């Protein structure tokens, strides 16, 4: 079960697709939308992240920094980000530590029996580092509830 609302978000530092370290505490004072996703280049993940890309202005107007996280390598994420022209950072949780900390790691991914894949999950973390929205999907083909995410960001702003 994913970390619930009201929980202080665990801090983390990961490398982004540009090989720079990014920490959650870098965004203190700003709302953060963390989107965990199973695989770069898969159809559902592409649809999810491209919908965020196309709506990035609305997230920005809600004082939100969007961060995508998967267990893919930073090299895969770099290629994916460039091909899809994503306008927010993608972070590599290759060692699976952040996915474990947020409790969004499949024991066994349903489609291909792979171990250690991130679930599709969304967390809104407010300016004080507290989770104000938490959603994790057991079925990888289901997208997060973007309207509820926006409502949580609106309330946090």
The b-or-e profile of 73-93 (16+ CB within 10 A means b, else e) is: ebebbbebbeebebebbbbbb
Catalytic annotation on 45? yes
Rg of the chain (C-alpha set):
14
106 within 8 A of 72, measured Cβ to Cβ: no
Residue 147: CB atoms within 10 A of its CB come to 8
Q: Which of 14, 40, 45, 91 is catalytic?
A: 45
| Distance separating alpha carbons of residues 62 and 112, to the nearest angstrom | 37
135 within 8 A of 50, measured Cβ to Cβ: no
104 contacts: CB under 8 Å, gap ≥ 6: 2, 36, 118, 119, 121, 136
Q: Which residues are catalytic?
A: 45
């Amino acid at each position: 079960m994913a970390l619930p609302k009201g929980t202080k978000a665990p801090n983390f530092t990961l490398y982004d697709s540009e090989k720079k370290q990014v920490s959650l505490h870098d965004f203190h004072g700003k709302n953060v939308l963390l989107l965990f996703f199973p695989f770069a280049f898969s159809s559902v993940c592409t649809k999810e992240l491209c919908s965020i890309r196309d709506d990035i202005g609305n997230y920005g107007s809600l004082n939100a920094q969007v961060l995508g996280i998967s267990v893919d390598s930073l090299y895969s994420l770099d290629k994916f980000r460039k091909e899809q022209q994503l306008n927010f950072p993608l972070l590599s949780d290759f060692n699976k530590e952040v996915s474990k900390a947020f409790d969004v790691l499949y024991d066994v991914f349903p489609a291909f029996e792979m171990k250690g894949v991130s679930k599709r999950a969304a967390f809104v973390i407010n300016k004080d580092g507290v989770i104000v929205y938490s959603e994790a999907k057991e079925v990888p083909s289901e997208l997060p509830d973007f309207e509820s995410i926006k409502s949580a960001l609106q309330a946090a702003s």
